Structure 1
Amino acid sequence: MPKINVLDKHVAELIAAGEVVERPASVIKELTENTIDAGATAVTVEIKHGGITFMRVTDNGCGIAREDVPLAFLRHATSKVRSQADLAHIGTLGFRGEALASIAAVSHIELLTRTEKELAGTRYLISGGEEETCEDAGCAQGTTLVMRDLFYNTPARMKFLKKDVTEGNAIAAVVDHAALSHPEVSFRFLRDGKEVLHTPGDGKLKNAVFAVFGREFTQGLIPVSYELNGVKVWGFISKPVASRPNRSMQNFFLNGRYVKSKTAMVSMEQAFKGSLMVGRFPACVLHLQVDFSAVDVNVHPSKMEIRFMNEKPVFEAVYHGVKTALQQEDAPSALHLAAPAAKPAVLRTPAAAVEQLPLRTAPCVHDSAAFSHASSVQQAMPDVRDIPLHAKDAEENAPPNFAKNGLGKENSFTGKTTGKTEEIVPPAIPDTPLPVASDVSAPPEPYVQQNAEDVPVKLVGEAFHTYIFVQQGQDELRIIDKHAAHERMLYEKLKAQAGEPEQQMLLAPVTVTLSKEEYTAVLQNLELLAKAGFAMEDFGAGTVLVRSVPVMLQEDLSSAVAEIAGHLAENRTDVGTEKLDWLYHNIACRAAVKAGDESSPQELIHLVECLEREDVRYCPHGRPVSIVLKRKDLEHQFGRL
């Protein structure tokens, strides 16, 4: 039987540190929570190389007293919990007393701190859990923590870290959540010497949302403010038209803490039911305030998982709050029809003269030459109100092409040479009739051809704007799903282009705001996206810039990019060929004609011809493109057999 050993302090601390410090983002999360608990109004987070080599968190909070500095780095040492009773109503973000000890066990730490009552600050150095220096130092009130070389003494854990960009984006997500959870605190985030976030800290949540997610996301929000059964819900939800293809932009905060709550998520989506299409999800920045004793946050060291004592009040408060906001703020705008303005009095053609004008039928002009001629004539004719009422003035001021009509000096509009005021008679409409366009809506000739097996194929028609009916010979009726067929053909076309699809450069690049996880996934797959026809680049702060897209993609580009980013973030372990194949599926599905779309007979004929040539059987998702009904089966149904 193996002998039981008591681990020494250093090994035990390394094991315990793994529960709290998984990556650099874990360090920033713990430290930003400490700054908020310390009453800071301004927090600066600075990192280099994804936080692996350097992290610094500075705040203007209350600071740490000199005699308490060494104690702060001991495990289970905290100023926020004193007895078992305190665990029943935790009101602070941190309370476990493990963060500083865990961070110090796997990095080099330098601490600078000063309280309001102290004249001199304290500089404290600790590495690998071992104290090195504690001395006087000059510093402002508050606390500054500098972490260097994370996991320097645990190389096994170091090799599991991601690239600097990935780790840096994870830290950026933590800072975003901190800024949204406490809009009264000004957060500043510096990444490799560049400022990427700076919130105003004015207590207005919308300003914090604007700083974190940008203008486009903020413009599509609806305010929420509701209270029911002791649960208060406030913040913002997205308008139905600004919905997302996934849940990555749903942010919930409970008593100022960023959490993942299935109860809040389900209740919000239930409130949106009937306002969103299937497969679309609302975005939100929602704060929930409940009694501290009604929730348990001591479920996991990350403190992101929570348990409600009673979920029903929370569900109802979120549901009714979101539903009320949708009914009040997302109502259709009223349509106001202005009364027609009174027309100015002008001289008109006598009724008798109108009756003598040749009557012409003027259908919609499709001929471009005729349309241009009609437009030029209309532009050449002066406004009746601008024509002088006296013959002399008319002769002097009339346009050259209307000054004379070959009848001496008579004016073509008055027909008189005297100075008397006469009624204006417009020029006669020419007798040459305008060309009439051919009837483009006339049905085409019946489509009949021979397929590869010399069987006559005849287009019968279309049902529900979705299914095409084609008669094959005398014994078969083929029913084709036009979306599935078109999708498969586009998919095969993309695959045949061998990673060099046809692209179209956008006249104005499109910016797309993503969650930090999606943002990271896109930046890691830029080359893969280029093979699918997307030219994207980093625009900073969780935003990508789209410069070109596949030529066949004509839908809402922002929605397409967001859906692709969400898939890449959720399927990080897929190999490149699987990701590229999914991109082809997605592009083909979006570009294909949709079920329910009206198609002309010519389009249906073209689709049937392509199917006959390419022998398409299944769509990229595995659904059948067509089914065949035998004549004898139909006759059996109708009792003919």
Structure 2
Amino acid sequence: MGSTVRLLDDTLIDQIAAGEVIERPANLVKELLENAIDAAATAITVSVEDGGRGLVRVSDDGIGMSPEDAALCIERHATSKIAAFEDLARVATLGFRGEALPSIGSVSKMTITTRPKADLEGTRVIVEGGEVREISPAGCPPGTTVEVHDLFYNVPARKKFLRARQTETSRIFEVCQRVALSRPGLRLVVASDGRTARQYLPVADLAERAYQVFGDVAFQEIHTEREGVGLDAVLAPIELARSGARHLFLFVNGRPIVDRGLARAIAFAYGDRLPPGHYPRGVVSLRLPPEDVDVNAHPQKTEVRFKQTAQLVDLVTRMVAARLPALPTGDAYWEARIGTHASAGPASKGATTVTETAAPYEARNPNGLRFVGQVRDRVLICESDDQILVLDRERADALVRYDALRESATTGSVRRHNLLFPDRFEIAPSAAAALERHETLLRDLGFDWSELGEGTYAVRAIPALLADARATQLFEAALTSLEGDGENRTDAVLRSLANRAAKPNGDPLDDAAAERIVAGVWPRRDAHRSCVIGRVQVSLGSGESFDD
């Protein structure tokens, strides 16, 4: 019987390794971003086409590589980050195995262009399917640019399992977001199909980066150090907590990780303020001695092992719990939870109360109206110089929102409100077709979204004027209006959005919000007459009369 055991050739070995390291374009982007950060880059630009299938380009302003290093970096297990077995016990860089570039080059057409800042000339290396095609001098700026074309062109079985373009692009954005959160001082620009999609400018600290990424959220900042472990965190209010830990971003020594034990430790710090299975939203970054963390535990380096896991989990819980605000109690707590509209005592049962400002009439708004009060969270009472008006609150709110949306759309000044965390929803095929046909219109109106799978989408931004409304409800309302007939699609969408965002009658509304509605109502305009359900004409010395 002849020998059946053989040594595999280097190209096949690289392709096998690529199966563990590079599963999809997002993994490729992650590896190249880590290389750029390890090269001391302060500015990185990521450009992708067709969800990363056609092109991934990562350019940085890092230290660059000499011609000798550029030629060597595409060899398996060639790295500048470790030199001996002992170095594995104290890895301080994001990469260290020397697998990424040869793995990428074995399943794509890759070009590396690089130049150290002190050199006048750079180097270009071209690799195709694991074979080196060219190594030559090149003119280029300081730093390194890696271009990857036709990912998996020579492994069709792998390429077949990639998801839709929007899904792969969305995962690339998520990788870039994590990198931006891990490095607040980094400038990171992300472009997709020739269009700038994300831009993270350098900021001073983690809190500023969190506001930049997630928007205007009242984060609780935590900065503490104990027993050699440093912890920096920005955590959203508990009202924004959700089931599952997907919206809790964890970092260890600047490395994005997934660790359910750490996530549970952070949630446990909240005690009974969080429902079972819920986790806070936000970012938690730990700083540990490198020798206390084993980063060589997962092919994609998304999981790590700790030297003293139980002690670290307990320490993190205590560090977070010690910095959280004390749980409120007493009357102030319950007033904040349930409001103060109901009066104590039997006399208030079934009564209708109108709160009125005891002051003579004085026009406070350009429309000449002054807010007086609300009745049962359904009706707004306001007055002008000669009338008392009764407004349908929900209708008035919708009209005011529509006017604001129409003005911003007409002037091209629509602003986006980026969601703290995207809202996921599913739509029917007919709605998906409408979404594809009218993508430009919806994006111009302030929406941003990405496809997660067949019929499943994530809304990432909504019009800033409607920031207080539910994102998925707004998006569904917009799609429904686009499926109908009519010539003025934009106007139909704006009216639908305004109606959906309006505060429903019967829902509590604070007086400040009610005053803003009244300030936007012009009762003498034909378009606003529909919200006026009653008038009392007031004239001095001649009594009162009802007009409607």
TM-score, normalised with respect to structure 1: 0.55
1:246 aligned partner: 244
The structure with the greater share of residues assigned to strand is 2
State whether residues 237 and 322 of structure 1, in contact with CA within 8 Å, keep that contact through their aligned partners in structure 2: no
Return the offset for 1:331.
Answer: 9.7
- Tell me the alpha carbon deviations over residues 183-224 of structure 1, each in whole angstroms, 9 at most, x when there is no partner: 111111111122122112133212222332223xxx131001
> Judging changes above 3 Å, is the alpha-carbon distance between structure 1 residues 137 and 4 closer, same or farther for their aligned structure 2 residues?
same
SS in structure 2 of the partner of residue 274 of structure 1:
helix
Who is 1:190 aligned against? Answer: 191
Q: CA deviation at 1:561?
A: 10
SS of the aligned residue for 1:3 comes to coil
| Contact 1:232 1:317 survives alignment (8 Å) | no
Measured after TM superposition, the shift of residue 301 of structure 1 is: 1.2
- The aligned amino acid for 2:37 is I
Question: Structure 2: how far apart are the matches of 1:238 and 1:332?
Answer: 23
Matches within 5 A, 1:314-393: 314-327=312-325
Q: Is 1:263 paired with 2:261? A: yes
Q: Tell me, what secondary structure is at the counterpart of 1:86?
A: helix
Report SS of the residue matched to 1:180: helix
Task: Show CA shifts across 1:561-608 (max 9, x none).
Answer: 99xxxxxxxxxxxxxxxxxxxxxxxxxxxxxxxxxxxxxxxxxxxxxx
Structure 1 pair 329–34 and aligned structure 2 pair: CA distance change class (3 A): farther
**Are the equivalent residues in 2 in contact too, given 1:199–1:207 (CA < 8 A)?**
no
For 1:628, the equivalent position in structure 2 comes to none
Q: Do the aligned partners of residues 265 and 366 (structure 1) sit closer, same or farther apart at CA in structure 2, a change above 3 Å counting?
A: closer
* Residue number in structure 2 paired with 1:300: 298
Corresponding position of 1:288:
286
- Write the distance in 2 (CA, Å) between the matches of 1:140 and 1:154: 33
How far 1:131 moved relative to its partner?
Answer: 1.1
Call closer, same or farther: CA 1:228–1:330 in 2, change over 3 Å: farther
CA distance in 2, matches of 1:194, 1:332: 53
Q: Check conservation: 1:245, 1:279, Cα contact below 8 A.
A: yes
Aligned to 2:26: 25
Identity %: 33
Q: Distance in 1 between matches of 2:221 and 2:430?
A: 36
- Paired position in structure 1 for 2:427: 526
Q: Structure 1: how far apart are the matches of 2:236 and 2:221?
A: 9
Contact kept? 2:229, 2:287, Cα under 8 Å: yes
Moved over 3 A (4+): 277-280, 328-335, 363-368, 505-512, 528-531, 534-538, 541-547, 555-562
Task: Identify the residue that residue 228 of structure 2 maps to in structure 1.
Answer: 230
Offset of residue 328 of structure 1: 6.4
Aligned counterpart, 2:448 = 540
TM-score normalised by L of structure 2 = 0.64
Following superposition, the deviation at residue 247 of structure 1 comes to 2.1
Q: What are the ranges of 5 or more consecutive residues in structure 2 without an aligned counterpart?
A: 334-346, 362-397, 406-415, 450-457, 476-548
Task: Give the residue type in structure 2 aligned to 1:208.
Answer: R
Change (3 A) 1:4 1:139: same
Structure-2 change in CA distance of 1:334 and 1:119 (3 Å): farther
Matched with 1:410 is: none
**What SS does structure 2 have at the residue aligned with 1:171?**
helix
Q: What value does the CA root-mean-square deviation take over the aligned residues? A: 3.9
Equivalences for 1:415-434 in 2 at 5 Å? Answer: none
CA distance in 2, matches of 1:330, 1:261: 31
Please say if residues 214 and 418 of structure 2, whose CA atoms lie closer than 8 Å, have aligned partners that are also in contact. no
1:186–1:528 CA distance, 2 compared to 1 (3 A): same
Q: Which residue of 2 aligns with 1:63?
A: 64
Q: Secondary structure at the match of 2:283?
A: strand
1:111 correspondence with 2:112: yes
User: In structure 2, what is the Cα distance between the partners aligned to 1:109 and 1:205?
Assistant: 34
Q: CA deviation at 1:365?
A: 13
* Cα distance in 1 for residues equivalent to 2:349 and 2:94: 71
Question: What is the deviation of 1:67?
Answer: 1.2
Shift of 1:558: 6.1
Q: 1:8 corresponds to which residue?
A: 9
Question: Which one of the candidate residues 501, 505, 513 is aligned to 2:419?
Answer: 513
Query: Where does residue 129 of structure 2 map in the other structure?
Result: 128
State the 1:540 CA deviation: 2.6
The corresponding residue for 1:418 is: none
Residues 511, 543 of structure 1: 8 Å contact kept: no
3-state SS, counterpart of residue 271 of structure 2: coil
User: In the alignment, residue 138 of structure 1 is paired with which amino acid?
Assistant: G
Secondary structure of 1:162's aligned partner: coil
Question: CA–CA distance in 1 between the matches of 2:249 and 2:348?
Answer: 54
1:267 and 1:186, CA in 2 relative to 1: closer, same or farther beyond 3 A?
A: same
Q: Distance in 2 between matches of 1:314 and 1:333?
A: 38
